[in-house]
């Protein structure tokens, strides 16, 4: 395992793939994250919920190897690590699908599927891309995820937003990801396309991956999630198993709960005095 290791423990029960314990990240005097903990198990979906500025992006960057944590522990399959790059995270089976997807719109679907990891055939001056293998593999892997693309030569930019997300998920599964981090995959999608993406998120879970779903939509999270971690201003605002919390309560906590009630009270229109009402 690459990265710096500082201890080992055996996972128990469901295989624990990733655990963050009291992880913090500081930028000078700014606390981007403080004391955040979460677990990611094989075949389970951990949803991280929070509004803009809650710390979701910082958390993604730490798990994905873009940033190192300043406090707490980060373990992958029982071994404590400090990742130095996204490449190290990928080598350890952690794949991140960002909201912008980083695809090349005018390139065909199969080329985007293998972008940066293209298989070749032949040797020396006769070495070339194995296009037939890439086309065949892309179609097979998309079918395995439940998407029947009749033409993998079509530019990926012609696919819907939901279909592009599914290509990225299928790619991560094919290249051996054990943990899949999805950054707001339904944020820019309508109801129908969001449903398509959530279906393939569940398919990744059923394939045995541990999934981290970053979202600000509690309804989407509750449809597929097994565990919910709520962030607020960089700190933990709650951590619940699905069996422990109803959608209504999750939504209330996500919306601010008591703060929203206080705001509602403050915005209530004061009763108009009778003598003023008469002259209105």
CATH T-level assignment (fold) for domain 16-106+172-278 = Rossmann fold (3.40.50)
Q: pLDDT: is 70 or 267 the higher one?
A: 70
Rounded to two decimals, the pTM is 0.81
Across 135-162, average pLDDT: 87
46 close to 212: Cβ distance less than 8 angstroms:
yes
Q: Which strands sit side by side in the sheet containing 71-76, from one edge to the other?
A: 79-80, 71-76, 16-27, 30-41, 235-241, 227-232, 45-49, 210-215, 179-183, 94-97
The reported pLDDT for the residue numbered 4 is 45
The reported pLDDT for the residue numbered 2 is 46
Ordered by start, the domain boundaries in the chain are 16-106+172-278, 109-154
60 close to 181: Cβ distance less than 8 angstroms:
yes
Distances (CA, A) of 181 to 102, 233, 275: 15, 21, 61
Task: Please state, as a whole number, how many other Cβ atoms lie within 10 Å of the Cβ of residue 119.
Answer: 11
Cα-Cα end-to-end distance for the chain: 76
Across 196-223, average pLDDT: 92
Strand pairing of 16-27 and 71-76? antiparallel
The reported pLDDT for the residue numbered 8 is 35
> Mean pLDDT of all residues in the chain?
85
pLDDT > 70 fraction of the chain, expressed in percent and rounded? 86
Q: 181: which strand partners? A: 96, 212
The reported pLDDT for the residue numbered 149 is 80
- Residue in 249, 235, 215, 237 with CA at minimum distance from that of residue 46: 215
The CA distance from 18 to 25, in Å, is: 18
Across 119-127, average pLDDT: 88
Tens of pLDDT, residue by residue over 36-88, are 999 999 999 999 998 888 889 999 999 999 999 999 999 999 999 999 899 89
The reported pLDDT for the residue numbered 94 is 95
Q: 76: which strand partners? A: 18, 79
Which strand (E) or helix (H) includes residue 95?
Answer: strand 94-97
């Amino acid at each position: 395992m690459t990265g710096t290791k500082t201890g080992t423990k055996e996972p128990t029960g469901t295989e624990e793939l990733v655990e963050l314990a009291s992880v913090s990240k500081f930028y000078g005097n700014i606390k981007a994250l403080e004391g955040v903990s979460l677990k990611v198990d094989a075949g389970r979906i951990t949803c991280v919920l929070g509004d803009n500025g809650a710390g979701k992006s910082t958390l993604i960057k730490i798990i994905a190897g873009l940033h190192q944590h300043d406090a707490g522990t980060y373990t992958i399959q029982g071994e404590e690590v400090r990742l130095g790059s996204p490449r190290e995270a990928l080598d350890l089976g952690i794949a991140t699908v960002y909201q912008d997807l980083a695809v090349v719109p005018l390139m065909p679907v199969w080329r985007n599927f293998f972008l940066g990891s293209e298989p070749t055939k032949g040797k020396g001056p006769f070495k070339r891309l194995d296009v037939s293998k890439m086309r065949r593999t892309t179609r097979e892997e998309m079918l395995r995820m439940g998407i029947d693309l009749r033409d993998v030569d079509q530019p990926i930019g012609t696919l819907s937003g939901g279909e592009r997300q599914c290509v990225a998920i299928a790619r991560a599964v094919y290249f051996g990801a054990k943990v899949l981090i999805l950054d707001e995959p339904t944020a820019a999608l309508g109801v129908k396309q969001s449903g398509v993406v959530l279906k393939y998120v569940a398919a990744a879970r059923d394939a045995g991956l541990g999934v981290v779903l970053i979202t600000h939509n509690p309804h989407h999270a509750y449809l597929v999630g097994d565990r919910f971690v709520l962030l607020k201003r960089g700190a933990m605002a709650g951590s619940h198993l699905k069996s422990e919390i109803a959608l209504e309560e999750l939504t209330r906590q996500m919306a601010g709960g008591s703060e929203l009630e206080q705001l509602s009270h403050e915005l209530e229109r004061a009763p108009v005095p009778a003598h003023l009402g008469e002259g209105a």
